[in-house]
Amino acid sequence: MSKITIIHNPRCSKSREALSLLEGKDNVEVVEYLKDGLTTEQLKEILKKLNISAFDLLRKGENDYKEQIKGKELTEDEVVDLMVQYPKLIERPIIIQNDKAIIGRPPSLVVDFVK
């Protein structure tokens, strides 16, 4: 069975709910991205698997978004660098399996994704 990775924030109810839907699977890796961080390379790989731009992964309600990004013309790489520097900007949870990934919002999407 292939490994499932969840990019997880334990303080987020949607992330906790998605993680609970993965309960009982013995191949789950939990990455607490706020504590452990993500590298630029890891984030670019996640975006590739999600098949979205960095702009689409932004949490636009965060103060870091309002202070660092809103109203600015930034490149994809600049947005990725800001998400690495300010990880609260990253939408969560992200579920990764093989070469695909989804944003687990609503968490019920996780059930069909990991079948």
What tokens appear for 28 in the block?
A: 């789950």
| Mean pLDDT on 54-74 | 97
Band (24; pLDDT cuts 50, 70, 90): confident
What one-character-per-residue DSSP string does 9-31 give? Answer: -TT-HHHHHHHHHTTT-TTEEEE
pTM of the model: 0.94
The angle at the Cα of 85, spanning 88 to 106, to the nearest 5 degrees, equals 25
Choose the catalytic residue: 10, 12, 79, 114.
Answer: 12
Q: How far apart are CA 31 and CA 107, in angstroms?
A: 17
Active site residue 87: no
Our count of domains for the chain comes to: 1
Q: For residues 21 and 13, what is the distance between their CA atoms, to the nearest angstrom?
A: 12
At 78 the three-state DSSP class reads helix
Tens digits of per-residue pLDDT, 40-57?
999 999 999 999 999 999
Q: Is the pLDDT of residue 1 over 90?
A: no
**CATH label of the domain that carries residue 75:** 3.40.30.10
- Residue 57, domain extent: 4-113
Distance between CA atoms of 87 and 109, rounded to whole angstroms?
Answer: 23
Confidence band (pLDDT; 50, 70, 90) for 101?
A: very high
